[in-house]
Chain A
């Protein structure tokens, strides 16, 4: 651990990685909480995988892969939102289709790109050590956008996440807020791709929030705790990965996954204990 801290002190790429991880945790804590309470994890998975299509096309035409990712993420989020609002029955088939078709497009374009030098692995599994200062500014910008939107529309987004039917009866533009939420999921996916890659995004989006859900009493606190947990996981993951030179994204996800399992067992155990105590008292 001390070795890692010393390395952070002296190497700029590690500092960038650390800052990138912390910034990504903010978006992932806030939007991940919505994904967990609204139970749209599968939809978020579809969006994150279809992003490879946008990255491949952008790379083929010599444009910024992250720009392509952003366009693809927002486009597929809007498409899926529209599908859900119009033909509810076929939602999961269409998510699955978009998931696979997006990746297929990406792989085709990448394979056709002259001078096959793209590190496909770094898109799929991320490479937090490659985060540069431009990436950091972009992440900070996305965080500000998310924070601003949620601060302005917290109650409305809460109502739409909680009970769409009631929100609609109150005259809230439910479709607008729902699509807004999906667009924020999309930009968060792009934010996280740089840290853990598009295959592992879904874990970092849902695990911290799912752990937080075991302990908190409100969506706001869930966001806060999930953000702190995300930060903890990225820092610990990076530190563990540093010395044996393990892939950082995968290590971060494993730290999050193990923590989730531990928390799940602990909270179930706590619940059982409480129940037993109640039964003891009532006897």
Chain B
């Protein structure tokens, strides 16, 4: 297992019944890489993630996660969705939500054990939501909820962390905090983050995958106006961010 890419897509195409959303996309993500996926809306970013997670099946081509088919590989992935599917007024606490990261095989029924609670507690400490543990989900702000969802993903003790627009509804200060945290986590896991904000993430990621039906990869250093223009097919003003 060691040495090979942790995620690999070979010639993957996908459509939801209409025109192709992804057209012959190939991508290899190395262990401990920090990959940013950028592209316009409806460019196929979320679809790409769902294929990696095994929530969708490719029309053609092959997806492998840690050398396994994604339905099995996905258990090693911590996933932070952009639009969580639950309703915000579900009667549940932060701790209960984070504990759900501990569910799954080999235990298919029964409750949580002490070790599970310990892992969940550590995950909450890492994303700085331990003080919110007994709060109701419906009382959280957007930024707090995002950290709780990250804690839930970390509670799965993943080898790969995948985040879909983690900072879409969050102010700039929190965005920086979240990406600083991701940079720390990158020491022990591979990270794939989808974003629409190529300028911001280029200060953090090792490599940027530009996705608009087809996929082109750039090392972070090579992101310039030309690359962005070809991606968005329009002039985009680039703002220099100086991180670190």
Residues on A lying within 8 angstroms of B by beta carbon are 37, 39, 152-156, 158-159, 162-173, 213, 216-219, 221-222
Contact = CB atoms under 8 A, between A and B. Distances in A.
29 contacts: A37-B90, A155-B99, A155-B100, A155-B110, A156-B103, A156-B109, A159-B100, A162-B86, A162-B92, A166-B79, A166-B85, A167-B100, A168-B55, A169-B53, A169-B54, A169-B55, A169-B74, A170-B75, A170-B100, A170-B101, A170-B104, A170-B156, A171-B75, A172-B103, A172-B108, A213-B89, A217-B93, A218-B92, A222-B91
Interface hub of A162, A164, A217 (most chain B Cβ within 10 A):
A162
| Interface size bracket, B side | 20 to 34
Contacts of B75: 169-171
Contacts of A213: 89, 91
A51 B64 CA distance: 46
Interface in B160-186: none
A155 B79 contact: no
B91 A166 contact: no
A37 B109 CA distance: 21
B112 A169 contact: no
Please classify the interface of chain A as helix (H, G, I), strand (E, B), loop, or mixed, using the class held by over half of its residues: helix
A85 B90 CA distance: 22
Contacts of A167: 100, 103
Nearest to A163: B86
A169 B156 CA distance: 10
B176 to A, nearest CB: 27
Interface centre among A162, A168, A169, A217 (most CB of B within 10 A): A169
A219 B111 contact: no
B18 to A, nearest CB: 15
A165 B96 contact: no
A218 B93 contact: yes
A75 to B, nearest CB: 25
B110 A165 contact: no
Interface in B65-107: 74-75, 77, 79, 81, 84-87, 89-93, 96-97, 99-101, 103-105
A172 B91 contact: no
Contacts of B213: none
B136 interface: yes
A98 to B, nearest CB: 25
Contact of A165 (B81, B97, B111): B81
A37 B91 contact: yes
Given A159-B100, A163-B85, A171 B91 contact: no
Nearest to A213: B91
B66 to A, nearest CB: 14
Contacts of A168: 55
B103 A159 contact: yes
Nearest to A156: B109
A172 B53 CA distance: 14
